[in-house]
């Protein structure tokens, strides 16, 4: 290392934005989160994949909104005053908003605290499930934002890419 050059001190554990879908708790890497906003009126997109519930105009940018309940094969429910949009960015600068029931905390979760997602009936868990972490006597499913789009989410990625061109 050249004289006078120092590396940044360790930053601590990665931070995750924690949110709820019904009684289930989820987390995503806070570095993927661009902002959290209240639910906006949506513009429907004809022939869109079921999880793509519409688009919003966010600071002059058309942003697709994904109903995360539908994307994760959970029972759908009406959006209400507590529904939040987590605006996220992918590695290739695609921007989308995840509709969730409520956002409640940012927590540090070390890689050692994330356990593999258990398989169900011998089936491997989906790639978007990075694992599970125990936080405050409950289990939080840690999601990988990049993997939410593929392979089953390929339609969502295509829609996001198309909308990103506008």
| pLDDT tens digit sequence for 41-57 | 999 999 888 889 999 99
Secondary structure of residue 132 in the 3-state scheme: strand
pTM here is 0.82
The pLDDT confidence band at residue 160, using thresholds 50, 70 and 90, is low
Q: What is the pLDDT of residues 80-120, one digit of tens each?
A: 999 999 999 887 778 899 999 999 999 999 999 999 988 77
CA distances from 131 to 30, 48, 119, 127, 141 (A): 16, 29, 11, 10, 6
Distance CA(90)–CA(64), nearest Å, equals 13
Tokens of 115: 């356990």
Measuring CA to CA, how many Å separate 63 from each of 49, 74, 77? 15, 23, 21
Domain 15-164, CATH: 2.40.50.180
Query: Is residue 156 predicted with pLDDT exceeding 60?
Result: no
Which sequence spans correspond to the domains of the chain?
Answer: 15-164
Residue closest to 89 by CA, chosen among 46, 30, 48: 30
In the predicted model, what is the mean pLDDT of residues 135-148? 90
């Amino acid at each position: 290392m050249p004289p006078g050059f120092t590396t940044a001190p360790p930053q601590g554990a990665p931070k995750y934005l924690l949110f709820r879908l019904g009684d289930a708790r989820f987390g995503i890497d806070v570095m993927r989160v661009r902002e959290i906003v209240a639910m906006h009126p949506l513009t429907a997109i004809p022939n869109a994949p079921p999880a793509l519930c519409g688009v919003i105009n966010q600071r002059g940018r058309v942003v697709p909104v994904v109903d995360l309940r539908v994307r994760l094969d959970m029972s759908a429910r009406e959006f209400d005053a507590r529904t939040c949009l987590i605006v996220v960015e992918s590695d290739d600068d695609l921007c989308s908003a995840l509709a969730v029931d409520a956002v409640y905390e940012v927590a540090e979760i070390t890689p050692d605290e994330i356990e593999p997602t258990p398989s169900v009936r011998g089936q491997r868990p989906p790639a978007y499930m990075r694992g599970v972490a125990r936080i405050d006597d409950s289990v939080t499913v840690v999601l990988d934002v990049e993997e939410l789009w593929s392979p089953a989410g390929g339609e969502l990625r295509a829609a996001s890419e198309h909308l990103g061109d506008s």
